[in-house]
Chains A and B, each alone.
Chain A
Amino acid sequence: MSLGSVPLKYRIDIDRDQCMRCMRCVENCSYGVFRNEEGKLILNSRKCTACHRCISMCPRDAISLKERPVDYRSHSLWTGEAREDIINQSRTGKILLAGMGNAKEYPVIFDRLVLDACQVTNPSIDPLREPMELRTHIGKKPPRLEFKKNEDGDVDLITELAPNLELETPIMIGHMSYGAISLNAQRSIAKAVSKVGTFMGTGEGGLHESIYPYQDNMIVQVASGRFGVDINYLDRGAAIEIKIGQGAKPGIGGHLPGEKVCSDVSCTRMIPLGSDAISPAPHHDIYSIEDLAQLVRGLKEATQWKKPVFVKVAAVHNVAAIAAGIARSSADAVVIDGFRGGTGAAPKVFRDNVGIPIEAAIASVDRKLNEQGIRNEISIIASGGIRNSADIAKSIALGADAVYIGTAALIAMGCRVCGSCYRGLCPWGIATQREDLVKRLDIDSGSRQVANLIHAWTYELSELMGAAGINSIESLRGNRERLRGYMLDEGSLDVLQIKPIGA
């Protein structure tokens, strides 16, 4: 029997008095909501994804959008979403796909943490007048330094330091592959990070030739599909990252649909044109911690121990023990990706239900490494749902060295978090390979906007640090004394190792 249609997700309305029939909405909507029939504007709201492209391009503000215009009988358990998922799955018999990060209404821990400021007993520091240091080094550090007296009576440093990445701000941009995002999007980000003095990840999509000029600011990724990996790729990167897991979908691999594998993507990934790029769930050469340590060492050997190697894992319950294992290998940094982390495509059931929040993961990893006396020997990079400079300050105070941002950088280029990246029709030219759409993203303005965002957050971070009487980022790192929990339960406070407000 027919299930009929589910109610509209969004309804688009046109204020016909305001509309000048310029048809920009028709040109801009890649999902086919608008049609021009002999000068008349016809709408099909069912196709709308709330990407806001039409709204932002309408010169008359004539378009309005309403979410869930049709009510269901209200029920707190059987929400509209729960009912629709069942209807869709009983129709198709398939796994539900979703884009972007975890969309469930879990409490956001960041929003229940408050920062500190100084008064009287210690002065706050004005970043406009005093130096404020955000320079961050990502990489292995020795547990101690050793010196030797030379013949002149001076002391010589004997300890040799491993190569570290030097960042002018603790903000990096995470791995989003060419394929998942467009070349223009990747080039915009690359240009921005090289201008700001920080780094970005290539994702598991290889390194396109047009990114070569920015290779000193690129972290190349080795993931389970090994797409695009050869010695040229490894040698070009400033650092190498082994991707074990991803916060948006811990425990499973990746899938780039063949439609997105155009000739350029196929060359860069080193896979046949139009073929699906499937990254397996585990690395098939890593079935244990010692296998991972071997791969880290293998990559180091291949690049003459000149490059830091990171290991990225999804934030899951035993992330702290995994991180401690990684710290014992030659790896330089552990990247922890929280369950709010974005993705182009993930099974909805994973995106919304598997993994733990980044805040708890940072704190428990930092605590475990401290307990084992090895915290400073490895860097912690946090990612997954970082929305503003306060989230960054809180991440660092919980124990991170630096953060990766992803979605935020995309928003800076136009993304409105509609969550339809997996469809390849992104009207902002970001998550698409369709040439006419990609062209919409101008590299100069895209890179300027991304650089602006990093600058703005860096300024805010220095202000927050100055207010807390701290003039160097090392003194914020793991400094939980400067955080308090607001409306957090005792168990969470204990995991985060912070006191409640007023204490």
Chain B
Amino acid sequence: MDGSAIKDALSLMDERGSGEGAGYVAYGIYPDFPDCYALHVFFDNIVEPKSKVDDLLSKWGVIVHQEEIPTYEQPRLKRQHIPWRYFFKPNKDLMVGSLTPEEDIIIKTVMGINSGINGALVFSSGKNMGVFKAAGWPEDVANFYRIDSYKGYIWLAHNRYPTNTPGWWGGAHPFNLLDWSVVHNGEITSYGTNRQYVESNGYKCTMSTDTEVVAYLFDLLGRKHELPENFIVKALAPHFWDEIDSMQPRERELNRAIRLTYGPAMMNGPFGIVVARSDGIVGFTDRIKLRPLVVGDDGDRLYISSEEAAIRTVDPDIENIYMPKAGEPVIGRVVI
């Protein structure tokens, strides 16, 4: 589907935001470059920072194609950066001693650019997918990028009410690393603990916001530790000990092991989160559901939203709408 319906759904919830940040991500939008990592970069100018990024990428692989991301001026949206995209193939022979050399090169270059090159920020780095975001109202950001011209099979969208870093394009959601994209409503009170955990596992937090740790946690637990999605959610929003104590032995042992091993990955504070990967999405809330989450399921399509109204905007005839329990994952898989 193209991005028009998702734009309408998100714009319907304008009063949840403040016009200072909105964004979209779509999977399946670059069928011409399916094997390349699509790096979306905000450049402050295309002279100095860009030549540094070009150099760094050329060192670690081949830039198959690059161009400015087409944008269209909007009266209410002030352009702060030049959005650029690279289609990049890393040279995996250059990453010694890694089981996933391509991904590790991407992580290394993304973190290197974001923490080391002034005036450049990589905000999207997966294959055949891309994030589009800016500081502005949902409809303006959508029109700025003309997201209705992209066709994807998974869409996430987010409308921001910033308190910490208003007006910063990089602070808008979705956050992305490799295949993982995250939209997040909430504030993570365990951020200090989670940040230390991901940083001690080689990630660098550079976005001055708590949401990026969610992407890194999913990458660490999902890609590196190979946990299935429902176990990742069990680690991030675990069952209470009271519940675990009353489980059957096998189940109890499993949940206890997850809590002990992944204690520092547990996320506290109010949140509703949807994470996407090329093969599906997972949505969940904090353990006491301090933020809303509504699910719509029409058999072929899964919708997850903060508000039912947004789902009904996309699909007015939908019948199966429900609210999942606190901490319970809602998983949608892509069926080909």
Which residue numbers of A lie inside 8 Å of B, CB to CB? 118, 121-123, 125, 130-131, 133, 135, 137, 141-145, 147, 155, 157, 159, 161, 164, 370-373, 375-376, 397, 468-472, 474-482
Given contacts A130-B288, A370-B200, A480-B192, contact A141 B260 (CB under 8 A): yes
Compute how far the CA of A472 lies from the CA of B264 in the bound complex, rounded to whole angstroms. 11
Give the CA-CA distance A499 to B267 in the complex, in Å. 22
11 A-B residue pairs with Cβ-Cβ distance under 8 Å, sorted by A, are: A118-B269, A137-B260, A157-B253, A469-B269, A470-B189, A470-B268, A470-B269, A472-B266, A474-B259, A479-B190, A479-B193
Contact bitstring B106-121, A, C-beta under 8 A = 1, else 0: 0000000000000000
User: Is B192 within 8 A of A474, CB to CB?
Assistant: no
What 1/0 flags go to B180-202 for Cβ under 8 Å of A? 00000011011111011101111
Given A470-B269, A474-B263: 13 more A-B contacts, CB < 8 Å = A122-B269, A125-B288, A133-B240, A141-B263, A145-B257, A147-B228, A373-B201, A373-B202, A376-B261, A469-B270, A472-B238, A474-B190, A482-B189
| Nearest-Cβ distance from residue B185 to partner chain A, whole angstroms | 11
Question: How many residues of B are counted as interface, with CB atoms below 8 angstroms from the partner's CB atoms?
Answer: 44
Residues of A within 8 A of B269 (CB): 118, 122, 469-470
Distance between Cα atoms of A161 and B199 in the complex (Å): 24
Which B-chain residue is minimally distant from A373 (CB atoms)?
A: B200
**Beta-carbon contact of B225 and A145 below 8 Å:** yes
Q: Do B242 and A122 touch across chains, with their CB atoms under 8 A apart?
A: no
Chain A residues positioned under 8 Å from B190 (CB to CB) = 470, 474-476, 479
Contact of B200 among A133, A135, A371 (CB under 8 A): A371
Q: Does B334 contact A (CB under 8 A)?
A: no
Closest to A154 in B: B250
Interface residues of B in 220-269 (CB under 8 A from A): 224-228, 231, 238, 240-242, 253-254, 256-264, 266-269
CB distance from A419 to the nearest CB of B (A): 38
Interface status of B290 (Cβ within 8 A of chain A):
yes
Known: A157-B254, A376-B197. A479 touches B266 (CB 8 A): no
Minimal Cβ-Cβ distance residue in A for B290: A123
In Å, the complex CA distance between A142 and B258 comes to 10
* Contact present for A477 and B263 (CB under 8 Å): yes
- Determine the distance from Cα of A376 to Cα of B226 in the docked complex, in whole angstroms: 19
Residue from the list B189, B196, B261 in contact with A122, Cβ < 8 A: B189
Say yes or no: A481 contacts B192, CB within 8 Å.
Answer: yes
Residue of B nearest to A483 (CB): B192
B173 touches A (CB below 8 Å): no
Interface residues of B in 197-229 (CB under 8 A from A): 197, 199-202, 224-228
Cβ B227 vs Cβ A147 within 8 A: yes
Option from A133, A141, A144 in Cβ contact (under 8 Å) with B241:
A133
A310 to chain B, nearest CB (A): 17
The answer to whether B163 has its CB under 8 Å from any CB of chain A is yes
Closest A residue by C-beta to B266? A474
Judge if B287 is at the interface, Cβ distance under 8 Å.
yes
Complexed CA–CA distance, A375 and B264 (Å) = 10
How far is B228's CA from A474's CA once the two chains are assembled, in angstroms?
22
* A497 smallest CB distance to B (angstroms): 9
- List 5 tightest A-B contacts by C-beta distance, closest first: A481-B192, A475-B190, A475-B268, A479-B192, A474-B263
Contact between chains at A475 and B228 (CB < 8 Å): no
Q: How distant is B32 from chain A, measured CB to nearest CB, in Å? A: 36
Interface contact B189-A468, CB-CB below 8 Å: yes
Contact B268 A471 (CB under 8 A): yes
> Which residues on the A side are within 8 Å of B241 (C-beta)?
133, 135
- Hey, which chain A residues are within 8 Å of B263, CB to CB? 141, 376, 474, 477
Minimum CB–CB distance from B219 to chain A (whole Å) comes to: 13
Residues of chain A lying within 8 A (CB to CB) of residue B259: 474
